[in-house]
Amino acid sequence: MKIVFLVLLGLHSAAAVTHSLKNIVTASSQVPNFPEFVIVGMVDDVQIQHYDSNTTRLVPKQDWANRVTEDNPQHWERYTARCLGLQQIFKGYIETLKHRFNQTGGVHIFQWVGGCEWDDETGEVSGFRQVGYDGEDFLSWDVKTNTWIAPKQQAVITKNSWNNDKALMAHYKYLLSQDCPDWLKKLVNYGRSSLMRTELPSVSLLQKTPSSPVSCFATGFYPDRAMIFWRKDGEELHQDVELGEILPNHDGSFQMNVDLNLSSVTPEDWRRYECVFHLSGVKDDIITKLDKTAIQTNWGKTGDGRDGGFPLGAVIGGVVVLLLLVVGIVGFFLWKKNKKGKDGVQPANTTDASSSSLSSSVEVQNTGL
């Protein structure tokens, strides 16, 4: 089984008007050095709460997230108890699915994602749920019909059982169309100063060897809604360029790069090229001219005699944080991409209705799988 780790990235900028509340629940079997059960809650893809079976405590991960105790002083204790209950239910889910798929030992992962989105400009709200098992879709929720869809034969029995519980399906609709958005609005208000901040990056030109592509490297920006690209004579380039992924830094900011292959470019034409960094919500772009004397290298001196060298600390820091996010936040990515729309993105269910970031999007089916 191919295991792909889930990377929790992406925040909304001040210009963004769509906010999201999401809970990711991961149960695992026989995964070395990893908790058997993990819950991560996120607002605008920023982690706000965490629970795992090793600590058996639901705890806030942002200072502003702890403001939930203003209205409910026992919030963390109450939902720690709920997480303990979910832990046992999910353990049973894995055993049920192992039997249904005719499996015995080995590594197995059961995961669901649930939550809602809210457009603070139009007021439009929508919910989502999706369930995955061992790296593949198991159940998807159709937001338009408020029913579950089974992409696998082994999921049909669960789909029928859950869809036939009309009271529970009505409860789902209420939670994800009203309760979850109400809680999301409250959390966005709590964290507005953090979620809406804007930080510009430092931009450098890097080159490994004289024949390597020149990399335009931006680090320290926030949020992650950004673009970086090369252009020639004012026109964006699509050939001889390679765009890297956005990665997190240790301080919560982000980094990204775009490489330009100059093998067919004469030195005289270098002045026609420039790197452009654009951050959503910021009017002015950061433009960096392709200048040989400004390139940092790890093979010697730059053209003007200065010491070269990549800012490896920033790069390594991003990689380390990425690994920490993987190990300390969630587990495994069961879907190679989110599939929003009529197939839904998401998971499921509990019959205990209560206003909270956990209950609104993680409702556990008491009748089992």
HEC-encoded secondary structure of 123-147: CCEEEEEEEEECCEEEEEEECCCCE
The answer to whether 281 and 198 are in contact (CB under 8 A) is yes
Question: Is residue 133's pLDDT more than 80?
Answer: yes
Per the prediction, the chain carries an average pLDDT of: 81
pLDDT 10s digits, 230-258: 999 999 999 999 999 999 898 878 999 99
Q: Note if the bond before 223 is cis, omega within 30 degrees.
A: yes
Name the percent of the chain lying above pLDDT 70.
76
Q: Judge if 18-194 and 202-323 fold alike in CATH terms.
A: no
Name the percent of the chain lying above pLDDT 90.
60
Beta carbons within 8 Å of 303's beta carbon, 6+ residues apart: 292, 293, 295
Residue matched to tokens 């353990």? 91
Q: How confident is the model at residue 72 (pLDDT cuts 50, 70, 90)?
A: confident
**Residue 235's beta-bridge partner residues?**
232
Q: Per CATH, which fold does 202-323 belong to?
A: Immunoglobulin-like (2.60.40)
pLDDT of residue 83: 94
pLDDT 10s digits, 288-344: 999 999 999 876 554 444 444 445 444 444 444 444 444 333 444 444 334 333 333
pLDDT of residue 358: 60
The domain segmentation of the chain, as residue ranges, is 18-194, 202-323
User: CATH assignment of 18-194?
Assistant: 3.30.500.10
Q: How confident is the model at residue 157 (pLDDT cuts 50, 70, 90)?
A: very high
pLDDT of residue 312: 47
Nearest CA to 162 out of 326, 302, 313, 350 is that of 350
Nearest CA to 366 out of 111, 90, 153 is that of 90
CA distance 174 to 100: 31
pTM of the model: 0.68
